[in-house]
């Protein structure tokens, strides 16, 4: 019989320590010589990312010993920082941002000097024994913006050779199968890559120098992503010209839509190396696509314009890599943690090669995402609702659960329906969670994505408020225990919600934004003009920046708050949190501030992750007057 106990006090097998001790981050899987490889980020090693190979006997081997760390930092967020070649693994080393070649069994050899250059998105030019990559060159001193370009990196060593420059940003250099043409994306301030990019193709001369480029598609109002060459020399790309990020095909003369449908075949280009599209043969693509927030895997016939949606149990799919008739990818489901998976296209059999957690989820404590739609002032918004779930416990009759409203970062991003250990941490303790895909989220078409333009801090907040109210009205949440939490841009939504709206009774901000003017003045190049579209150009719209900055309206805030902040964060500097904390403290409200040495934008170290998660639970227990099970790590709370 389940134990009767109040929501929030249930004993859970999902502990903060178990999440980091048994869990790893997985990305960029590939297959070479029949062996599956992937990059594995380990909180227990300070966030070090390690290339790993699965052996024939099922064991796994690290390809690089400590302290080698595969982590690029172009645009600060990195990605596209490793490429497997016959000669070995090319990768960016986190400590110095140089590019190295690690031949099997040998010490890595530097291909570029350490210093002010960062690299990403490698393409292998076999004929000329070189890599083509995005280079971000930082000034030696001062505060000038870094310069971005496409360069060639000789595999035999030597200075990188500039190939293409002049635009503010570059991504996705892709060589045609015969090595004679180069495709790439570029865009300029004030656009972000989901606002407008241009796809170019140029022929390469005998010495590898690009000729005059041809514009294939795109511009300031059309976002192109993920160019992929077919074996016959045609080029596939993803465009939002028809509102949805759909597949298009360029034959060398003109582009045409392959498969118009209300689904998206790409994610936003926050990091390099996204792979939702991969060529199987000259007419077949393996594609990850999303509808209503749920991802599927399908095979697209580019000639017939048809898609075969594969019958697989996953709700999140991405990072596709095709090797012959095998697709290797990342996948997750409501009861499957993020995993490296292989699929045989002939037999349709799939295998989980590596899970992000060593232990399988306890079936009695799995809360599966329920897609919901709810009314808001913009018509309709989307979210995933997770009810409390723990087979060992039951709440007293008539009690409603506390609700955690999650606001994802970005804001141009999306919540996922995949199994999340952090969400299960809460639901297995008796909290309900709603993960909101507010207006501005990706996966629902360009019109929905653009609905946040000029309305950041308004539309997203209204949707989070509406989600909480909708669930409270249905009896699925206690209106006296409504909590909102989020990180980065999601943290800004949190601070706006508790400052400019009534209803939430507590909030947690992870490296969140409190002062839009400070953000506009003190952020990195990639996002330096992001606010132009979300808020308005600065300083021309200074009045709007002030009006939407919670730091100026702390007098309206009347709920307890907890802040978690990395002290080396260059995206949202610590001053953003510290000013807010001091202002709340001066009001005499309960407030906690937990800074982390050595952490940037997002926490990588095991101790940081444990402290933040347990500290958040401890904070809610103190604020709402209950005692969480398991004695979570205490954090200092002022004025309480």
Each residue's pLDDT tens digit, 573-588:
898 899 899 999 999 9
Mean pLDDT of 589-599: 96
Write out the two tokens for 222.
Answer: 């059309």
Give CA separation, 545 vs 515, 527, 552, in Å. Answer: 8, 16, 10
Q: What is the mean pLDDT of residues 258-274?
A: 97
Mean pLDDT score across all residues of the chain: 96
CA distance 223 to 193: 6
SS3 181: strand
273-283: average pLDDT: 98
pLDDT in tens, 359-377: 778 889 999 999 999 999 8
To the nearest 10 degrees (0 to 180), the angle between helices 489-500 and 459-473 is 70
How far is residue 107's CA from residue 65's CA, in Å, rounded to a whole number? 10
Model confidence pLDDT, tens digit, residues 129-178: 999 999 999 998 877 899 999 999 999 988 999 999 999 999 999 999 99
Is the Cβ–Cβ distance between 497 and 462 less than 8 Å? no
List Cβ neighbours of 105 (8 Å cut-off, separation of 6 or more).
Answer: none
Question: Cis peptide before 67, with omega less than 30 degrees from 0?
Answer: yes
d(CA 190, CA 187): 9
- Selection from 332, 226, 243 nearest residue 286 by Cα: 226
Question: Cβ distance 76 to 119 under 8 Å?
Answer: no
With 90 as the cut, is the pLDDT of residue 328 above it?
yes
DSSP string, 227-242: EEE-TTS-EEEEEEEE
* Distance (Å, whole) CA 351 – CA 530: 40
Between CA 521 and CA 531, with CA 526 as vertex, the angle to 5 degrees is 50
Q: Give 200's pLDDT tier (boundaries 50, 70, 90).
A: very high
**Count of CB atoms within 10 A of residue 291's CB?**
15
Token representation of residue 188: 């300029």
Element (H, E) at 468: helix 459-473
* Residue 10 backbone zone (phi > 0: left; psi -120 to 50: alpha; other: beta): beta
pLDDT tens-digit profile of 405-426?
Answer: 999 999 999 999 998 889 999 9
Tokens coding 241: 């010209």
Nearest by Cα to 345 from 293, 391, 294, 281: 281
Average pLDDT over residues 483-490: 96
Residue 22 has pLDDT above 70, yes or no: no
Average pLDDT over residues 487-508: 96
Q: What's residue 20's pLDDT?
A: 77
Contact by Cβ (8 Å): 9, 628: yes
* HSE value, Cβ hemisphere, 13 Å, CA-based, for 415: 31
Please say whether the beta carbons of 123 and 147 come within 8 A. Answer: no
Q: Is the pLDDT of residue 258 over 80?
A: yes
Predicted local confidence at residue 115, as pLDDT: 87
- What residues form DSSP beta bridges with 384? 371, 435
Label the pairing between strands 482-487 and 506-510.
parallel
Instruction: Give residue 318's pLDDT.
Output: 98
Concatenate the DSSP letters of all residues of 623-635 into one string: HHT---TT-PPP-
Domains defined for the chain, CATH in brackets: 362-624 (3.40.50.1820)
* Average pLDDT of span 208-224: 98
Give the dihedral of Cα atoms 410, 416, 420, 424; nearest 10 deg.
Answer: 100
* C-alpha closest to that of 566 among 614, 607, 623, 520: 607
């Amino acid at each position: 019989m389940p134990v009767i106990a109040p929501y929030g006090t249930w004993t859970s097998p999902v502990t903060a320590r178990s999440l980091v001790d048994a869990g790893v981050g997985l990305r960029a899987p590939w297959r070479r010589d029949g062996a599956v490889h992937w990059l594995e980020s380990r909180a227990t090693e300070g966030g070090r990312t390690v290339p790993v190979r699965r052996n024939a006997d099922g064991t796994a081997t690290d390809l690089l010993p400590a302290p080698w760390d595969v982590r690029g930092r172009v645009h600060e967020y990195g990605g596209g920082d490793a490429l497997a070649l016959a000669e070995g693994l090319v990768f960016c080393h986190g400590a110095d941002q140089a590019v190295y070649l690690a031949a099997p069994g040998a010490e890595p050899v530097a291909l570029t000097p350490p210093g002010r250059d960062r690299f990403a998105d490698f393409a292998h030019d076999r004929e000329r024994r070189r890599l083509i990559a995005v280079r971000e060159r930082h000034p030696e001193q001062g505060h000038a913006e870094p310069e971005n370009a496409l360069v060639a990196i000789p595999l035999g060593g030597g200075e990188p050779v500039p190939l293409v420059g002049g635009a503010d940003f570059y991504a996705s250099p892709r060589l045609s199968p015969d090595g004679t043409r180069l495709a790439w994306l570029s865009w300029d301030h004030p656009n972000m890559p989901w606002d407008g990019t241009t796809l170019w193709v140029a022929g390469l001369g005998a010495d590898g120098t690009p000729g005059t480029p041809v514009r294939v598609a795109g511009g300031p109002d059309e976002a192109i992503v993920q160019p992929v060459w077919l074996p016959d020399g045609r080029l596939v790309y993803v465009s939002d010209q028809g509102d949805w990020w759909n597949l298009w095909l360029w034959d060398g003369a003109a582009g045409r839509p392959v498969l118009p449908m209300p689904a998206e075949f790409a994610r936003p280009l926050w990091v390099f190396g996204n792979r939702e599209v991969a060529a199987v043969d000259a007419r077949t693509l393996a594609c990850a696509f999303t509808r209503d927030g749920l991802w599927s895997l399908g095979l697209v016939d580019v000639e017939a314009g048809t898609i075969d949606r594969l019958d697989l149990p996953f709700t999140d799919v991405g990072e596709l890599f095709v090797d012959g008739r095998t697709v290797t990818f990342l996948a997750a489901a409501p009861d499957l943690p993020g995993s490296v998976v292989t699929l045989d296209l002939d037999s349709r059999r799939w295998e989980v090669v590596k899970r992000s957690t060593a232990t399988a989820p306890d079936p009695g404590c799995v809360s599966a995402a329920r897609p919901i739609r709810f009314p808001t002032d913009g018509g309709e918004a989307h979210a995933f609702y997770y009810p409390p779930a723990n087979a060992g416990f039951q709440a007293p009759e008539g009690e409603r659960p506390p609700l955690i409203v999650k606001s994802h970062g970005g804001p141009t991003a999306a919540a996922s329906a995949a199994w999340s250990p952090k969400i299960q941490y809460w639901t297995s303790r008796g909290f309900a969670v709603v993960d909101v895909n507010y207006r501005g989220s990706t996966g629902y078409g360009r019109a929905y994505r653009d609905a946040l333009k000029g309305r950041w801090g308004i539309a997203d907040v209204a949707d989070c408020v509406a989600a909480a109210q909708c669930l409270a009205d249905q009896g699925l949440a206690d209106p006296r225990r409504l909590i909102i939490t989020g990180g980065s841009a999601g943290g800004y939504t949190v601070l706006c919600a508790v400052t400019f709206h009534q209803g939430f009774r507590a909030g947690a901000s992870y490296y969140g934004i409190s002062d839009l003017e400070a953000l506009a003045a003190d952020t990195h190049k990639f996002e330096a003009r992001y606010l132009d579209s979300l808020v308005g150009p600065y300083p021309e719209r200074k009045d709007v920046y002030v009006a939407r900055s919670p730091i100026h309206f702390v007098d309206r805030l009347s709920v307890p708050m907890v802040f978690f902040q990395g002290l080396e964060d260059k995206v949202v500097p610590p001053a953003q949190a510290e000013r807010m904390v001091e202002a709340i403290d001066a009001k005499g409200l309960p407030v906690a501030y937990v800074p982390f040495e050595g952490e940037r934008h997002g926490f990588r170290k095991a101790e940081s992750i444990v402290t933040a998660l347990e500290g958040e639970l401890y904070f809610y227990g103190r604020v709402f007057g209950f005692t969480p099970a398991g004695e979570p790590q205490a954090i200092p709370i002022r004025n309480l």
